[in-house]
Amino acid sequence: MWLRRLSLLIGVFLLCVPVYADSSLGRSSNRLLLTSTDEDWLRDWTIYDSAPRLSDGLRTGYYRRLPTSHQPLSTGLRKGVVIVTPESRSRPVSIVRENLLLENPETDLALGVAANRNPTGSWQLIVKVNGTRLTDPLTISGRAGWQDILVTLPGYGSQLVTIEIEAWASGRDNETVYIDYIALSSPQTRVPIQPNGTYFDAAYQRFLELHQIRERERMQRLLDQDYQDQQIRKSYR
């Protein structure tokens, strides 16, 4: 009897632990088709193995403006966001760029990502180059809001490479993956924009500054509209 109980406990434990297999061997042809996007990075990257809908019924794909219920916790809203979610715990969402020539041996990969905040969720981020894992699984939590991640791609100068960004289920519910941008930068032009040492190209730095200004203005307009709607509802009571 105790052996049976032990086997049941082990089975439950394994169900709750994500398995980071070699997904490059098992990536399917299930490609997420994105149309009418105005994000340049989406022209270079291909997304595989996302479920067609989230648990609340929202379609996965590209959104110029996120629904209010899907705004990750942040000091500023972002627009032009891709929403995906893993189909299962054994197969991640894969964002892939193939046959890329890295002219600089110290190229960096930068990406803006988040997880859902309400209810709070999380997922695991892994970056690979030519099938070699460069990072340990990094937990992206909805409690952290938007995160700007930088991964160095060392030793691949003058080579054709395939970069895979994998979003693994964390073994919990609400594993919604938000992607704001993916960019490549080089140490000759990057400048620090955050106190934690994150770097981006100077041109991308200017883009982020303008983007933050526009998002603050848009956030204020949303708050004003919400206040006006509340006043209208009160007038009908």
Give the number of other CB atoms < 10 A from CB of residue 60: 20
Q: Which two tokens stand for residue 92?
A: 């991640």
Q: What distance, in Å, lies between the first and last C-alpha atoms of the chain?
A: 64
Does 141 or 217 have the greater pLDDT score?
A: 141
pLDDT at 18 over 60: no
205 pLDDT band, cuts 50/70/90, is: low
Task: Tell me what pLDDT residue 222 has.
Answer: 79
204 pLDDT band, cuts 50/70/90, is: low
pLDDT at 21 over 60: no
pTM of the model: 0.68
Task: Tell me what pLDDT residue 140 has.
Answer: 92
Residue at 56: amino acid letter:
D
**Cα–Cα distance measured from residue 80 to residue 232, given in angstroms and rounded to the nearest whole number:** 31
Task: Tell me what pLDDT residue 132 has.
Answer: 92
Q: Which of 148, 45, 149, 162 is nearest to 102 (CA)?
A: 162
CATH of 18-187, one of 2.10.109.10, 2.60.120.260, 1.10.287.810, 3.30.565.10: 2.60.120.260
- Chain Cα centroid distance, residue 160: 24
**Cα–Cα distance measured from residue 209 to residue 17, given in angstroms and rounded to the nearest whole number:** 39
Eight-class DSSP state of 18: -
3-class secondary-structure state, position 54: coil
pLDDT at 150 over 80: yes
Helix (H) or strand (E) holding 91: none
3-class secondary-structure state, position 92: coil
Beta bridge partners of 48: 31, 94
For 206: left if phi > 0, alpha if psi spans -120 to 50, otherwise beta; the answer is alpha
State the virtual CA torsion across 44, 96, 109, 165 in degrees, nearest 10.
Answer: 150
Domain boundaries, the chain: 18-187
- Chain Cα centroid distance, residue 40: 16
Q: Which of 112, 113, 127, 119 is nearest to 20 (CA)?
A: 127
Task: Tell me what pLDDT residue 23 has.
Answer: 47
**Cα–Cα distance measured from residue 165 to residue 37, given in angstroms and rounded to the nearest whole number:** 20
Task: Tell me what pLDDT residue 237 has.
Answer: 64
